[in-house]
Amino acid sequence: MPAFERSPRQFLEFLYLLTRMELKARYRGRFIGYVWAVGTPLALAFVYWIAFKVIMRLDMDNYSVYLVAGIFPWTWLSMGVTGATRGFVANAPLVKEMGVAHAVLPLSNVLQEMAHFVLALPVVIAWVVLAGGYDPSASWLWQIPLMLALQAAFVYPLALACALANAYVRDVEYLLGIAFPLLFFATPMVYSIEMAPEPLGTWFEWNPLHALMQSWRSVFQTGALDPAHMAYAAATAVAAGAIAWLAYRRLAPRVGEVV
Amino acid sequence: MSDAVICRDLWKSYRPRRPIGLKSFVVGPRSAAEGDRFVRQWALAGVNFRVAKGQAFGVVGHNGSGKTTLLSVLLGTIRKERGEVDVRGRVASLLELGAGFHGELTGRENVALYGSILGMTLREIRERFDAIVEFSELDRAIDSPLRTYSAGMIVRLGFSIIMHSPADVFLIDEVLAVGDARFQDKCRHHLREFKKRNGTLVIVSHNMAELSEICDEGICLELGEVVEEGPIERVIAGYRARSATPPPVASAARP
């Protein structure tokens, strides 16, 4: 018996306020907040470029574009999930107050990171066109929103499931701290999949994150969708959604007690 | 007179549901009672009561008797093992006053956020905003970030937002009135007006004077069981009598 039923409209208002206030609070008092949101992944890409292209002499054309096109969606994914994972534990009083609607907290995290990604898109596009010499494509106007929806459908169930699991088993956030760096190299993010020796290369092909990131690179670098990879990512998103739904039914009712 | 809160044969277990880590799997808990405050099995055992609309209902008992657990079950954040709980109408609670308050945001922004957490629509928040600010006596401080507020200001703001939320039932856990004497009078007056409008109150408190002033009926809990019920004076007397002797360690209650 929830304290009150939120109407769909009120739920959306709540989600909007939560996300917006969280973003405001994060950047208030920080003069160059937006710059950090965009600059940090960019700086990271630069570090990898120095490490792999310059020092290790990795052989790939337009390596910087490969990095940049991937690192922002990756940041959305990893920050969204890891940020959401701590969400119930870090906001224990809030979780107890809310009654129901636990699902909104991870969603807010995912949307915040999506907001960062959308704000970074001009930078990504500029890089792809100017540094990479690729042609800008009008088809981006509908491809990018489509990819946004696909990734959101992918990331949110993961975020929700991890957040619920972490409320019960507090190690989850630390496990993710190991999993994401591993996945970063298993996706792969800093080299192309052809460079991976067998059997690793085949295994990496099965990584749904690879499908997702490759779809983004396909859009940015060729202006065309990658239907095979997108279908695989979508199928994984559906599976993740099913798992998250089960986890929610099983774990959400007692979250207020364990945080 | 219809009932706002009905509680029938409510049982809530105290099986430890504290979070576990891999270490516990591997190493094992250090002791049987690790992390548990109490040894008994049932936090609430066979609790029965009704609260009519427009009534104020007091819940008294020793520390650890299950009072806060009861309010959490009424609010819906904690699941019961068996029994029925029915709360009719919108519920607002002062269990976690200011949950969701953000130090970096201004009072104004926190009003919007907290109001939304409590279930208010943006329109409701806008309509009540001026009344909320006026009640909290914060004046221009409403536009300063919350981290500049004193503890008293924060509690007054939280209290004010909750008091203005469109709830039919208020659950109050030990925070009956805050601030200085004059502000406390204002809170009490507001609660009385709320009762007149057919609002229902369920109040947990250790302040017997306040309870006897505002409440009509109540229960006394001990180790999760109802040991006194009825008119508030009788309940308070029963609680006082039990306070003279130390409480038993374990209860023999079985569902």
Please state, in angstroms and rounded to a whole number, the distance separating the CA atoms of residues B195 and B176: 14
Q: Which ranges of chain B have pLDDT less than 70? A: 1, 15-39, 176-177, 245-255
- Indicate the pLDDT class of residue A222, thresholds 50, 70 and 90: confident
pLDDT, position B16 = 56
Average pLDDT for A44-51? 92
A14 has pLDDT over 50: yes
pLDDT, position B248 = 61
Could you tell me the residue ranges of all domains in chain A?
Answer: 8-258
In sequence order, what are the residues at sequence separation of 6 or more whose Cβ sits closer than 8 angstroms to the Cβ of residue B82? B9, B10, B11, B255
Average pLDDT for A105-111? 93
B27 vs A98, residue with greater confidence: A98
B8 vs A106, residue with greater confidence: A106
- Judged by CB atoms closer than 8 Å, whether chains meet at B119 and A10 is answered as yes
Average pLDDT for A79-104? 84
- Per the prediction, chain A carries an average pLDDT of 88
A194 touches chain B (CB under 8 A): no
If phi over 0 gives left and psi between -120 and 50 gives alpha, with beta otherwise, what is residue B59? beta
A202 vs B24, residue with greater confidence: A202
- Indicate the pLDDT class of residue A103, thresholds 50, 70 and 90: confident
Query: Least CB-CB distance to B104: which of A3, A25, A168?
Result: A25
Residue pair B34/B21 in contact (Cβ under 8 Å)? The answer is no
Other beta carbons within 10 angstroms of residue A199's beta carbon come to 8
- Indicate the pLDDT class of residue A213, thresholds 50, 70 and 90: very high
- Judged by CB atoms closer than 8 Å, whether chains meet at A17 and B79 is answered as no
pLDDT, position B35 = 47
A105 touches chain B (CB under 8 A): no
- Judged by CB atoms closer than 8 Å, whether chains meet at A3 and B100 is answered as no
A214 has pLDDT over 80: yes
- Indicate the pLDDT class of residue A111, thresholds 50, 70 and 90: very high
pLDDT, position A74 = 95
- Judged by CB atoms closer than 8 Å, whether chains meet at A28 and B145 is answered as yes
pLDDT, position B26 = 55
Closest CA to B152 of B187, B118, B128, B126: B187
A159 has pLDDT over 90: yes
The residues of B whose Cβ lies within 8 A of any Cβ of A are: 17-22, 72, 75-79, 85-87, 90-93, 95-96, 98-100, 102-105, 109, 112-113, 116-122, 145
